[in-house]
Structure 1
Amino acid sequence: MLLSPTAIVLPGRLQRQVDGLAQALLQPDRSIDFSVPSEEPALISVDSVSWRIFKNPVSLLVGGIAAVLLEFGEPRVRDGVWQHSSFRADPLKRLQRTGLAAMVTVYGPRSRAETMIAGVVRRHDRVAGRTSEGEDYRANDPVLLDWVQATAGFGFTEAYHAYVRPLTRTERAALFVEALPAAKLYGATGVPASQEELDALFESMTSRLVASPVIFEFLAIMKRAPILPAPARPLQSLLVKAAVDILPGWVRERLELGASWSLNPVERALVRTMTSASDRLMLPSFPAVQACRRLGLPDTYLYT
């Protein structure tokens, strides 16, 4: 099991202020209470590796950006998202919805997670079109669903591994297995279940991934969207570069993400400081903390 250092608990007033900011970002829909119903388990076990790494909002942001870059390298996924979502008009709201979906999938009570995923699948049934290259796509195409689920797992895993603490081979293997139940509910029935299967999928996608102006527009949006509090906003550019930096070299070459998108040693150290602190920061509004309460566990369960 992954063990975290002692939790960071901020002084009273500062704790409330930071907690309010975190809640606005992570739980824009206040109707979702991860602390109820009492004792209902999640899709993923509380003693899982996933519960440990998904509690870190900074590494999740980095991993999420990396995942989207991989997804947008596939033209059918790219245009399916870009043509049928509010990302360009309201990127923060879109990011909040996506982040909340991830929180519900990992920490939410099983019944709530299953209901949410079923709703996503129904909405995706209506999403279809043609890429700018003239290729037809459907959002619920199992091949595309496999790619989206695989890239999400890759992003979250690699961001934690690179910037928080190294994951062992056993922990990586566990993350693949833990992701399978939710992936199948989404319709990703062929999602990789091991590192070997993920490597094979990446190899099969080599000729599919292409550069696009959409990718660079997405990166520009991620730099300027009001994700972090205003005083910390300059750090967003570092987190965006950190996301590019964990992509495989051949992917960066295919997507034309050159050396200017790489972190230098000082920047990498700063990102690691941010993600490490985030891994220890315990706030009452965090879905991970609320979910522990639902299961009768102490707030500090995932931090000790």
Structure 2
Amino acid sequence: MQDAHAQSHGEVGEDSAAAGDPGIFGPGSVTWQLHADPAMWVAGVRALYLQALHPRAVRGVVQNSAFRKDPWGRLFRTADFVGVTTYGSRAEAERAGARVRRIHQFLRATDPETGVSYRIDETALLRWVHCAEVVSYVDVVRRSGLALSDKQVDAYLAEQRASAVLVGLAPDDVPGSAAGMREYFEDVRPALARSPEADDVWDFLRRPPVHPVLWLGRELLWRQVSELAYGSLPSWAHEIYGRRPLPPFAVTAGLRLLRSTSLAVLPAARLAGFQSPHIKAAVERLGPDAAPARPGVLSGLTAS
């Protein structure tokens, strides 16, 4: 949820000398494939719901960002940061991370009950944001129908230690396996709670501000994404929010339908010129064989 992620625009294509540079993950990684999956949009919304349950972390976002004034811009720029660090050259990814770290070092948040100020780049807070994000990506994409093996999940979480380093963590600061991630969430749960800031995030994700001409689309389309993202949270997160989710079977069916529909229209979208600029730049840098496999195909990937 770091708002400094919003500063990553402009990284794509800056390194003309980066030809052949696979970046920090590369085409053989699980990350390269998983982050190209169409279910990632729902996963990103789910991550925001989850991240907001840490009062100290979400307070840092609300007190230091334009979240209320420019929520859509924040969401898209955060997605841009993920795209740059996934598919960009190593230099592009490291520049994006350095910008995040540079901004974070000056930001503080204040506990309204105690008046105590604290840094938003505390290790515990950065760890929470990282773990909530990558777990959301895995859980949603897997539940949506991607055949991701346990070994590939462990490989993905181990790979994502490199992204944790970009925002100021050490590799060992975050779990590198599913078992380690489960243990982490058990340990952190006592620190989680519903807060006014979490309710702000909830309200935005349920009914984000849009131009009046887009109200119908928001109610028909976005509301479904929001419901599915919230419903995919673990049951303990629903208990903290105190808000009833869709039944589990409806969440799974909805995620699979949304993903399968997206997969069906992707070829036509690419023919029409709609393609991730980050993937396009990576293919130009590394050649056509570097393109992520057809979503849903993970066989042959490195899993260690």
Choose 285-294 or 88-97, whichever is displaced more: 285-294
Q: Give the conservation status (yes or no) of the 8 Å contact 1:67–1:152.
A: yes
Alpha-carbon shift at residue 43 of structure 1 (Å)? 0.8
Could you tell me which residue of structure 2 aligns to residue 197 of structure 1?
Answer: 180
Which residue number in structure 1 is paired with residue 55 of structure 2?
A: 75
**Pair 116,206 (structure 1): closer, same or farther in 2 beyond 3 Å:** same
Residue 226 of structure 1 and its aligned partner are, at CA, apart by: 4.9
Q: TM-score, normalised by structure 2?
A: 0.81
SS of 1:247's partner is coil
Paired position in structure 2 for 1:9: none
Report Cα offsets for 1:73-132 as digits up to 9, x if no partner.
111101100110111111111111111001011111110110110011000001112123
Q: State the secondary structure of the residue aligned to 2:160.
A: helix
Alignment partners' CA distance in 1, 2:262 and 2:24: 24
In structure 2, the residue corresponding to 1:83 is in which secondary structure? helix
Q: Distance in 2 between matches of 1:263 and 1:111?
A: 45
Whole-angstrom distance in 2 between the partners of 1:217 and 1:273: 29
| 1:32-77 superposed Cα distances (whole Å, 9 cap, x missing partner) | 33895422211112111111111134x2222122222222111110
- Asked whether the equivalents of residues 54 and 60 of structure 1 are also in contact (C-alpha less than 8 Å), the reply is yes
Cα offset for 1:267? 6.3
Which secondary structure does the structure 1 equivalent of 2:78 belong to?
helix
Change (3 A) 1:232 1:40: farther
Query: What is the 5 A alignment of 1:27-46?
Result: 29=9, 32-33=12-13, 37-46=18-27
Aligned to 1:236: 222
Q: In structure 2, what is the equivalent of residue 127 of structure 1? A: 107
Question: Counterpart of 2:301?
Answer: none
Q: Which runs of 5+ in 2 are unaligned?
A: 1-7, 298-304
Structure 1 match to 2:88: 108
Structure 1 residues 50 and 184, CA gap change in structure 2 (3 angstroms): same
Could you tell me how far apart the structure 2 residues matched to 1:267 and 1:169 are?
22
Distance 1:121 1:197 in 2: 25
Q: Which runs of 5+ in 1 are unaligned?
A: 1-27
Residue 167 of structure 1 and its aligned partner are, at CA, apart by 1.9
Query: 1:160 maps to which residue?
Result: 141
Deviates more, 1:134-143 or 1:178-187: 134-143
> 2:33 corresponds to which letter in structure 1?
R
How many residues of Structure 1 are paired with residues of Structure 2 in the alignment?
274
C-alpha contact (below 8 Å) 1:289/1:299 kept by paired residues: no
Kept in 2: contact 1:75–1:131 (CA 8 A): no
Normalization by structure 1: what TM-score? 0.81
Q: Against the structure 1 CA distance between its residues 178 and 81, is the aligned structure 2 distance closer, same or farther, given a 3 Å change threshold?
A: same
RMSD: 2.7
Q: Is the 8 A contact 1:35 1:291 kept in 2?
A: no
| Percent of aligned positions that are identical | 26
> Which residue is 1:252 aligned to?
238
User: Superposition pairs for residues 161-240 of structure 1, below 5 Å?
Assistant: 161-189=142-170, 190-222=173-205, 223-226=207-210, 230=214, 232-233=217-218, 234-240=220-226
Report the equivalent of 1:16.
none
SS at match of 1:182: helix
Shift of 1:225: 4.3
Conserved? CA contact 1:183–1:191, under 8 Å: yes
Deviation at 1:214, TM superposition (A): 2.4
| CA distance in 2 between partners of 1:153 and 1:63 (Å) | 9
| Residue number among 253, 257, 260 corresponding to 1:273 in the alignment | 257
Deviation by residue 1:180-231 (Cα, 9 ceiling, x = unmatched): 112123122211111121111111112111012322322332233459x947
